Amino acid sequence: MEENRAQAYLELIHTLLNCPNGSEPQILQDNSELLDVEFLETCELVAEKMAQQGGQNGADFLRNLIGQLSQLIDINDGDNSVGENAQEYANFILELLQAEDGSNSNTAVIHPMLAERQHLLNARFSEILEQVLQRLIGGENAQTIESIVSLVEDLTINISNFSGGNRANNIEIAIAAYQLVLNNRQPGSEKFAQTQNNLAAAYITRIKDSRAENVEMAIALYGAALTVYTVEAFPEDWAMAQNNLAAAYANRINDSRAENIDRAIAFFEAALTVRTPEQFPEDWAMIQYNLGNAHNDRINGSRDENIAKARSFYEAALTVYTREDFPEYWAMIQKKLANA
């Protein structure tokens, strides 16, 4: 993305966040030349940062905007795949799977390969991936099938985390690929739950379609994973799912905002029963920070009590997020405390 255009995106977002209510359509019309996939991706990045810093209203506004604009902007297949034949996609996918296997899913190996042929990361890629997978597993035994499916999931994780190319396309590929993996795993198994968790994470970051519906999908998938990830059998995975559900409810658009925040608080507190300061100090500190944000935003209960609890959680987080070791988090929490 050109630096000037990136700055123009940020300026437009700033204008939209601070404009009088009802003037947004005219502002968007006046800046229609900036309305593209990269603008939506920038909106999502800003929304994520605002949510992390407690600016939930602004984050919700931007995510609603993404949902509305994505219906008007063709982000399903941002690259024109005319002239690219199916065999080229198939060869690329096979090369990636071989590299995943040979490098033990090393990002330093996979991401340069994705960057070199990022023009192939589009809807056609997902279609050919399904065909390639079916050919590879046809007639194989269960152990071989699981090995191949695991490689596909490893590749999907690398595509999901790939910052190059078209971000919206990358996420769509990830969603389709995780679904392929689920279709070839035993429901109720540990690995099935693992893939449900990965698919939920993809929906949380999805740019295409309704933001509200994407969050609902993520919540359903995280909840489904918890039927396998019990606290007794998989305590760390259980705590991770609790934390993920908390974050999803904190960003939920549907239903009561007050109830969503309270549910987020309950899930964060559940995660703390496993993520203790002794065993998982950084994870513990992040949950303390998130609980501070949640209580700061809380609608139910006494405002004074909520603010007092928020301050207490922020101060607890500072016992780990020291100025020397985590200067960025330290500064962010100091700002929160000053405004609380």
CA–CA dist 104, 102 (Å, integer): 6
What pLDDT is recorded for position 78?
46
Q: Which has the closest alpha carbon to 315: 294, 295, 292? A: 292
Specify whether the CB–CB gap between 274 and 235 falls below 8 A.
yes
What pLDDT is recorded for position 66?
86
Ranges of the chain whose pLDDT falls below 70:
1-2, 71-84
DSSP helix/strand/coil, 170: helix
3-state secondary structure 220-274: HHHHHHCCCCCCCCCHHHHHHHHHHHHHHHHCCCCCCHHHHHHHHHHHHHHHHCC
What pLDDT is recorded for position 84?
58
What pLDDT is recorded for position 229?
97
pTM of the model: 0.79
What pLDDT is recorded for position 56?
85
What pLDDT is recorded for position 2?
66
Question: How long is the chain?
Answer: 340
Specify whether the CB–CB gap between 93 and 132 falls below 8 A.
yes
Specify whether the CB–CB gap between 232 and 274 falls below 8 A.
no
CA–CA dist 242, 235 (Å, integer): 10
